[in-house]
Amino acid sequence: MELLAQANFWLEPAGSPALYTKLIFALLVGFGVIGLLMVAPPAARRPVVAFATFLAGLYWVMLYLWPVPIAREPGQLPRDGVESVGFFLKDINSDVVSFTVILTSFMLGLGIYSLMRIHVGRIRRHHEDAFFSWVLIVSLLLMVGFGYADWSSRLGERSALLELRDNWGFVNYARDFLFEGLLQQMDAAMFSIIAFFIMSAAYRAFRVRSVEATILLATALIVILSLMGAVAFEWDEGVARMANGNPLLLNLQLTEISQWLRNTFQTSSLRGIAFGVGIGALAMGLRIWLSLERTGGSA
């Protein structure tokens, strides 16, 4: 078991032919398995998917529940079966994590494939919005091209020099313009639109139509005012002058009231919600892990 944990199939020098051979082999095996699953009848596919799901979840459940070493010395050997399993779980952790990270990374490829399938199809069919599909594909290719060229330019002796803008060349400026100048700014612009929705929604929805709505409105008002530094500062200073050291009256400071609301009502409500969500996620996780969830386990 220890040997299994220590053996690492991928420990080959970066860029070596042996590593590339293994990568190609693994890709072929992976696609082969996926292809086989796709052509297999559902009755044959279901147990395979259920077993793989169970195995994937089993590791994390065991890592959480099984006693694992917390202060293990280098070269220390397990004393019994329980410790052997604990050592094994700890030793393969990085491999399982790497596997999960790689598997998740493939979702990026899946996303690109899906985007290309839709937009290339639109261009082929001369869809009325084909222009936007062209924009998307050209933008994607430009970003990938200049991103890779920028990265390549940093390999070797010029890497430190390129940390300063003065030493940039065309590809570095082009990458910066596309990523920082366009993509990131559009990202920020999209996000800032939320402010308009919040303002409009607050104006239309915050009405004192009931006792509950009035309490909510008053609470929101106190919290908003406490976030306005000038208001909170002047209020607190005024109360401090008026209180003249009286600790009871100091509780009337806006920041104190706001803090009390947050610590007493807000955090307890959020904890309640978090517990509810946690229990729901646990139930859902169990159903998926044990393939009881038909939409998750019978794919």
Partner 1 sequence: MSIGERLQSIPRWGVYLMLILVTSVPLFLPIRVPNKPVESTIDLYAALMELPTDKPVLIASDWTKSTRGESQGQFNSIMRILMRRGINVVFYSTGDPQAPRVYQDSMRVLNEERAVAGEPPYERWNNWVSVGFFAGSEAATNGIANDLRGAFRGRKDFAPGRGLIDVFESPVMRGITKVQDFPVLLVITGSKTSNITVERVSGKTPLAFAVTGVMTPETQVFYQSKQIVGFAGGLKGLYDLETLMEVGINTDNPNTVKSEKYGSIPGFPGQKNDGQGTRYYPTLHFAMALMILMVVLGNVGLLLTKSKGRR
Round the CA-based radius of gyration of the chain to a whole number and report it. 29
Q: Taking a C-beta distance cutoff of 8 angstroms, is the pair 9, 25 a contact? A: no
Say how far residue 88 (Cα) sits from the centre of its chain: 28
CB closer to partner 1, 17 vs 42: 17
- Three-state DSSP class for 255? helix
Shortest distance in whole angstroms from residue 209 CB to partner 1: 8
Residue partners of 178: CB distance under 8 A and separation at least 6:
139, 142, 143, 146, 147
CB closer to partner 1, 68 vs 122: 68
Shortest distance in whole angstroms from residue 27 CB to partner 1: 17
Shortest distance in whole angstroms from residue 251 CB to partner 1: 15
- What is the tally of helices (H) and strands (E) in the chain? 15, 0
CB closer to partner 1, 96 vs 115: 96
CA angle 187, 189, 192 (to 5 degrees): 110
Torsional sign, CA 189, 191, 192, 196: positive
Please tell me the distance from the alpha carbon of residue 200 to that of residue 194, in angstroms, as a whole number. Answer: 10
Burial, 5: exposed, middle or buried (Cβ in 10 Å; 0-12, 13-18, 19+)? middle
Q: Taking a C-beta distance cutoff of 8 angstroms, is the pair 117, 125 a contact? A: no
Say how far residue 292 (Cα) sits from the centre of its chain: 26
CB closer to partner 1, 39 vs 190: 190
CB closer to partner 1, 9 vs 203: 203
Shortest distance in whole angstroms from residue 177 CB to partner 1: 12
Q: Which helix (H) or strand (E) is 297 found in, with range?
A: helix 294-297
CB closer to partner 1, 41 vs 156: 156
Shortest distance in whole angstroms from residue 197 CB to partner 1: 10
CB closer to partner 1, 128 vs 212: 212
Q: Taking a C-beta distance cutoff of 8 angstroms, is the pair 246, 281 a contact? A: no
Shortest distance in whole angstroms from residue 281 CB to partner 1: 11
- Strand ranges (E), the chain: none
Q: Taking a C-beta distance cutoff of 8 angstroms, is the pair 46, 298 a contact? A: yes
CB closer to partner 1, 94 vs 246: 94
Shortest distance in whole angstroms from residue 288 CB to partner 1: 14
Shortest distance in whole angstroms from residue 188 CB to partner 1: 5
